[in-house]
Structure 1
Amino acid sequence: MVLCYILGCSGCGSSNETKEDDSASASLGGTLNAVQEMAKQAEETQQNGPVETVDFRKLKDMLPADAAGLTRKSANGEKNGMGGFTFSTATGEYENEDNSQNIDLAIVDTGGSGAMMGMAAWSMIEMDKETESGYEKTTKIGDNKAFEKYDNANKSGEVAVLVKNRYIITVKGRGVEMAKIKSVLDDVDLEKLGAMK
């Protein structure tokens, strides 16, 4: 039951309709597979040892001056360490003149550490969900695993891409269409990013 609670399986412990049980079992099976895959990658990372992340200044250089027509208002970078692993991060904030449209762009080098799986757990699963107000799903952008979600009512959403099982690019937008959020990725050279060392 504790596992059910952690994994958020509301159908666990219930003897409702068989169809619901089958659905819960399928969901649980998919989640367990994802957890097993995460554990496997964490073990491999531990055996290989930490990888030195790139200088965050290189990541900052990859932040475009404007994103989907919005002007960059700030650009920041930093490097942090935890448990023998380091992370390099660059973030940019973009907005229009009246601040009705905002986009945040983040580029993170995890060094391929096990903690990357916590930041991009979606890369281990398959998801496709739609509601009256929006959707969220896993997908691919080029050869890279990706995740996107959008709320039509609030005109807010995000798209995230995992490059070389190491770099995570996340674009979050408010007051903008999903097409505009996704177009920001066109301003980031993913191939160049993947080749960085």
Structure 2
Amino acid sequence: MTLRFLVLALAFSLTACGGDDVSTDEVQETGAPSTAFGRAAQGMGALKDMADQMEESANTAPAEPVNHRVLAEVLPEEAAGFPQASTEGESQSMGGAFSISQRSAVYETEGEDGQITVEVMDLGGLPSVAMFGAPWAMMDVDKETDTTYERTITYQGQRGYRKYDTERRRGELSALIENRYLVKVSGRDVEDAQMEEALQAVDTRRLASMKDEGRPAS
């Protein structure tokens, strides 16, 4: 049974889900189809696209992750008005099976409410980035309550995900760059617009330019 078949098989259980599309650098939502048929058609199309992406990923040689010190260079000194308070990173090899590199930074102002954490991970050494590093990349999500929302998006042409709790003022905004670099913004005591601003401060274009870094020549 191929990976492509497994993903397409999810269509029968996931076609009721909708997704949001963003066509600019900023995170903007568009309406989901209003009918069940429209949502099903959208879901089937999205699953086919994901199957194509995962099949391509499965046929691509794993990459040696870039050092976490390189990832530190794409993190901003300031995010949504908060200065960078601390940073840490690591590069690990899991018993030779796969490797991963990660760098994160915390942004906050001493004595004031609000904190943003930005994390960048190089998942190029994983056998399937979508399956193991960003599961939301495998499906469309569109959930909403009176105080929360959770949905998949497109950010600068890349697959993304966001969720936010208006009551607790907490949330997450992520983007998967070139099916390799996962950028995740987490916010506490902040507005969702501040998380957008923090994501836009990350040098995602540089990450995109390193999509083949450490990958064996074909």
Q: Flag whether TM exceeds 0.5 (same fold).
A: yes
SS in 1 for 2:208: helix
Matched with 2:184 is: 170
Q: Does 1:98 align with 2:111?
A: yes
SS in 1 for 2:198: helix
Count of residue correspondences: 169
One-letter code aligned to 2:138: M
Structure-2 change in CA distance of 1:48 and 1:144 (3 Å): closer
User: For structure 1, which runs of at least 5 residues remain unmatched after alignment?
Assistant: 1-6, 10-21
**Is the 8 Å Cα contact of residues 112 and 165 (structure 1) preserved in structure 2?**
no
CA distance in 1, matches of 2:154, 2:68: 26
2:139 maps to which of 125, 139, 150: 125
Matches within 5 A, 1:4-153: 37=51, 41=54, 48-82=60-94, 83-111=96-124, 113-117=126-130, 118-153=132-167
Shift of 1:45: 5.2
CA distance in 2, matches of 1:91, 1:189: 14
1:183 maps to which of 168, 175, 197: 197
**Is the 8 Å Cα contact of residues 51 and 85 (structure 1) preserved in structure 2?**
no
Shift of 1:99: 4.3
Structure-2 change in CA distance of 1:134 and 1:156 (3 Å): same
CA distance in 1, matches of 2:68, 2:59: 25
Provide, for residues 118-175 of structure 1, a one-character-per-residue CA deviation record: whole Å limited to 9, x for no partner: 2211111111111011100001111011100000000010100000000000000000
Using CA pairs under 8 Å that are at least 6 residues apart, name the structure with larger relative contact order, 1 or 2: 2
Structure-2 change in CA distance of 1:124 and 1:136 (3 Å): same
SS in 2 for 1:132: coil
**Is the 8 Å Cα contact of residues 71 and 103 (structure 2) preserved in structure 1?**
yes
Shift of 1:75: 1.0
CA distance in 2, matches of 1:145, 1:112: 19
CA distance in 1, matches of 2:93, 2:163: 30
**Is the 8 Å Cα contact of residues 58 and 128 (structure 2) preserved in structure 1?**
no
- Find the structure with the greater CA-based Rg: 1
TM-score (structure 1 length as normaliser) = 0.76
CA distance in 2, matches of 1:51, 1:142: 23
Which stretch shows the higher mean deviation, 115-124 or 127-136? Answer: 115-124
Which stretch shows the higher mean deviation, 82-91 or 120-129? Answer: 82-91
TM-score (structure 2 length as normaliser) = 0.69
Shift of 1:96: 1.9
User: For structure 2, which runs of at least 5 residues remain unmatched after alignment?
Assistant: 1-9, 14-35, 214-218
Identity rate of aligned residues, in percent?
Answer: 35
**Is the 8 Å Cα contact of residues 123 and 133 (structure 2) preserved in structure 1?**
no
**Is the 8 Å Cα contact of residues 74 and 204 (structure 2) preserved in structure 1?**
no
